[in-house]
Amino acid sequence: MVLFLLLTFPVAAHSEIESSFYTGIQEAPPSDISVWGDGVLPDGGFNIAWEGLSFEWPLYAGFRITNWQSETSGWGLDYAHNKTYPIEAELPPGYSALKFTDSLNTWKINAYRRWPQQFGDVTPYVDAGVGLSVPGVEVTYLGRQTFEYQLTGVAETWLAGASYPINDQWSVFGEYKGTYTSNSVSLRDGGTLETDIFTNAINFGVNYRY
């Protein structure tokens, strides 16, 4: 329903709809982990160093669809398959897994601003968005495992990039994309694990306009 409204309102101002696919190199700086109230995991806090492993399966990638309601502004929906894996040697004692196995998935509604053909055929653009973090959670401590998708909190994103046309319908683009997620994970034995994660990515992709 949200996507339908984004792409159809206001119809009179509709200029074009654009679908985009991207991949690239994505990493995440270390973040603090807090755990409390669990029947098995001890209460406490520690720091985890993350790595993106962008080109290991499943790949880091994303998709978005944008309604450019004028030549310069638009709204859209963005899905990203972000990746955050701990450096295994740095896991605290007792943990055999603490990661977002099938990615730190984010769904966001974004606002876009572009400057058509600002540099010859090159069109720079910026974006900001807000939505939800829906990771595939995997936490294993002394054999007790939490392993499921959860809606864990808010996701925010910001980016800047530029596109270059191939023909009237296709274009290519490159961009920097930053993402913030606030994650409150419900553990199997009644506890809570919380962490705020930032990711940074250099993306390359293709757009199709129709």
Tens of pLDDT, residue by residue, the chain (210 residues): 444 444 444 444 457 999 999 999 999 999 999 999 999 999 999 999 999 889 888 899 999 999 999 999 999 999 999 999 888 677 899 999 998 877 899 999 999 999 999 999 999 999 999 999 999 999 999 999 999 999 999 999 999 999 999 999 999 999 999 999 999 999 999 999 999 999 999 999 999 998
Q: Which two tokens stand for residue 15?
A: 């200029």
Pick the CATH number of 2-209 from 2.40.160.20, 2.30.40.10, 2.50.20.10, 2.40.70.10: 2.40.160.20
**Cβ(47)–Cβ(29) below 8 Å:** no
| Conformational region of residue 94, where left means phi above 0, alpha means psi within -120 to 50, and beta covers everything else | left
CA gap 124, 117 in Å, rounded: 8
Q: Return phi, psi of residue 71, to 5°.
A: -65, -20
Give this prediction's pTM: 0.88
